[in-house]
């Protein structure tokens, strides 16, 4: 197993602390393997395997654990056999009915240090989840970013050009690295992940009746990455295809796709008014590998795909991300972490003066002292223009420092 240090470093300070560790993220992003990595870390420090209980609800071995009561009985029976510090790991906990009751009870009784995973952003939003309020820390996991992709491929930065082309085509699901790197093999694997998420985490969970319409909306999002998207706009598009779906229905489908991490909704922030806007969001896919599954070779907007890559990179680095609005112009990303803030423009190439003015000009209009950065695939442009930095996009993905620093 290859260590994912981004997340190991993030969770390490909370191990053996009185807080429930909740790891959320899209299916097959590596949550199960991450739990096994944590277990290996504990065992390497001398913790007996008898003091560690791992339950994976994706495995038929644990199919009998269907309710919080089943979970309580099984955990109590197995962890009461040992003395000393104990550890409980429950993978895909949302598959257990009213799981919150059991987890809250284990926490109250101090039965073990608890770590759980789930594949739905609604995991902690139910009425029952209020039982856990103030008792948990959430860690959001994504598919591999490009630096991790290189590690999994056992490649170095000298291979970055060829490898980035593969990354752009196949995306970051860790499972692809155990397979032959071919369009047919990887394509079928990602299509299977897409179908599982759609049917299990969206259709079944939300009792969706019109699956074909849901798929049409998912395809629309993939074909409009980086563009302003509204439920009404999608509804109008559907009507233009001689079909019918109300804006309210579309909004529900968008919400459910976001809850399953199939897509990420990114809201706009009015820089001048210093407020978050409630309309005209953008959506990015949970993994760029989905684009090939949903669109095949039809996808043409390379800048939108690059935006998706940068967006997921910023999430992995722990940033909260918004779209910036300044008067009638837009900034691709405002990345915020604590007191740090950066403005970022993403484009394919700075091919002419019009493109240069478009990308740098909007950042020059922002009158504050936070870092501002333009990313492109140009091999060279020049490092600074009026205080605004430029960086090759691939180099940025391989640079661990904060944007614009």
3-state secondary structure of 52: strand
* Residue 181 included in any domain: no
As a whole number of angstroms, the longest Cα–Cα distance in the chain is: 71
**278 lies in some domain:** no
Count of other CB atoms within 10 angstroms of residue 255: 16
Residue 68 inside a domain? The answer is: yes
- The domain boundary residue, chosen from 97, 112, 140: 140
- Domain boundary (88, 115, 140) is at 140
Confidence of residue 82 (pLDDT cuts 50, 70, 90): confident
In a domain, 187, yes or no: no
> pLDDT tens digits, residue range 378-391?
998 877 888 999 99
Tokens, residue 365:
């209009």
Residue located via tokens 């752009």: 168
Phi and psi of 6, rounded to 5°? -55, -45
Residue 266 lies in a domain: no
Cα distance between residue 254 and residue 248, in whole Å = 10
Placement of tokens 């994706």 in the chain: 58
In a domain, residue 173? The reply is no
Q: Residue 315: which CATH number?
A: 3.40.1350
DSSP label at 201? I
Total length of the chain: 405
Instruction: From residue 137, give the alpha-carbon distance in Å to each of 53, 99, 107, 114, 158.
Output: 20, 17, 13, 11, 38
Least confident of 90-104, 305-319, 381-395: 381-395
Residue 352 belongs to some domain of the structure: yes
* Main-chain dihedrals φ then ψ at residue 109, nearest 5 degrees: -85, 0
In a domain, 215, yes or no: no
Q: Which among 321, 220, 330 has a CA at the least distance from the CA of 266?
A: 321
Question: Where a domain ends, among 97, 113, 140?
Answer: 140
Q: Which H/E stretch holds residue 391?
A: strand 388-392
- What does the block give as tokens for 179? 């397979």
Measured distance CA(186)–CA(180) in Å, rounded: 7
Q: Residue 274: its pLDDT value, please?
A: 74
Both tokens assigned to 180: 């032959």
Q: What is the mean pLDDT of the chain?
A: 93
404: pLDDT confidence band, cut at 50, 70 and 90? low
> How many separate domains does the chain show?
2
Domain that holds residue 47: 5-140
User: In CATH, what number is assigned to the domain containing residue 107?
Assistant: 3.40.50.300
Residue 6 has pLDDT above 70, yes or no: yes
């Amino acid at each position: 197993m290859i260590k994912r240090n981004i997340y190991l470093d993030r969770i390490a300070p909370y191990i053996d602390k009185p807080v429930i560790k909740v790891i959320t993220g899209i299916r097959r992003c590596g949550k199960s393997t991450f739990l096994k990595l944590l277990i290996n870390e504990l065992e390497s420090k001398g913790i007996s395997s008898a003091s560690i209980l791992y339950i994976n609800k994706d495995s038929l071995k644990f199919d009998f654990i269907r309710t919080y009561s089943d979970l309580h009985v099984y955990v109590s029976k197995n962890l009461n056999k040992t003395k000393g510090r104990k550890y409980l790991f429950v993978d895909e906990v949302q598959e257990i009915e009213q799981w919150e009751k059991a987890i809250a009870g284990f926490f109250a009784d101090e039965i073990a240090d608890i770590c759980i995973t789930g594949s739905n952003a609604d995991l902690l939003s139910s009425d029952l989840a209020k039982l856990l309020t103030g008792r948990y820390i959430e860690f959001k996991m994504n598919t591999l970013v490009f630096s991790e992709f290189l590690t999994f491929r056992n490649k170095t930065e000298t291979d970055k050009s060829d490898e980035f082309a593969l990354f752009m085509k196949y995306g970051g699901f860790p499972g692809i690295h155990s397979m032959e790197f071919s369009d047919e093999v990887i394509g079928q694997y990602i299509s299977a992940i897409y179908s599982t998420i759609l049917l299990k985490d969206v259709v079944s969970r939300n009792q969706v009746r019109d699956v074909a319409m849901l798929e049409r909306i998912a395809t629309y999002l993939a074909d409009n990455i980086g563009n302003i998207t509204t439920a009404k706009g999608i509804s109008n598009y559907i009507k233009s295809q001689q079909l019918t779906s109300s804006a309210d229905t579309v909004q529900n489908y968008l919400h459910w796709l976001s809850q399953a991490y199939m897509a990420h909704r990114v809201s706009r922030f009015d820089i001048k008014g210093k407020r978050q806007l409630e309309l005209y969001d953008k959506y990015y896919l949970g993994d760029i590998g989905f684009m090939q599954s949903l669109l095949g070779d039809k996808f043409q907007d390379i800048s939108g795909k690059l935006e998706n890559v940068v967006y997921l990179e910023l999430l992995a680095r722990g940033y909260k991300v918004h779209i910036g609005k300044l008067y009638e112009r837009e900034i691709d990303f405002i990345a915020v972490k604590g007191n740090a803030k950066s403005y970022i423009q993403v484009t394919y190439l700075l091919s002419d003066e019009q493109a240069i003015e478009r990308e740098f000009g909007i950042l020059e209009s922002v009158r504050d002292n936070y870092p501002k950065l333009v990313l492109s695939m140009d091999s060279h442009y020049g490092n600074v223009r009026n205080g605004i930095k430029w960086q090759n996009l691939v180099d940025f993905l391989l640079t661990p420092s904060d944007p614009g620093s």
